Amino acid sequence: MDLNAWKAQLRKRAAKLAVLALLHRDEMYGVQLLERLQAEGGLEISDGSIYPLLRRLQKDGKFRGRWVEEEEATHPRRYYSLTNAGRQMLLAMRAEWTAFEASMRRLLREEPVRATR
């Protein structure tokens, strides 16, 4: 099995929840999200994945976006934040994730039934 491909899949599948969690704390633009995911260690996604994800969740009513022209930037930035629907989705997904994670941790901690030699 290709471990790297599996890792990339894991991160990609978790990206939605990770982005929801980041935007719950603060309004952010695309590159900022990419940076933060990378800084968290092991959560980074490709540059190409972030904008389709942001547009999809915006279309779906979970995010709202607005263009901001800032002094220090030479270009407008599109900032995203959570809508009420987005916050509700985050709560629901977080509960699922926590339960999933707990089960997986239990499963992985279990001693092997019989040692194979």
DSSP strand pairing (77-82 vs 28-29): antiparallel
Measured between alpha carbons, how far is 54 from 20 in angstroms, rounded to an integer?
A: 10
> Is 76 a binder of another protein (CB under 8 A)?
yes
Residue 79, H or E segment:
strand 77-82
CA-based nearest residue to 67, from 12, 29, 22, 109: 29
Which one of residues 13, 75, 105, 114 is an interface residue with another protein (CB under 8 A)? 75
Which one of residues 2, 4, 13, 52 is an interface residue with another protein (CB under 8 A)? 52
By beta-carbon proximity to another protein, the closer residue of 11 and 55 is: 55
> Is 85 a binder of another protein (CB under 8 A)?
no
- Return residues touching another protein (CB under 8 A): 29-31, 46-49, 51-53, 55-56, 59-60, 65, 67, 69, 73-78
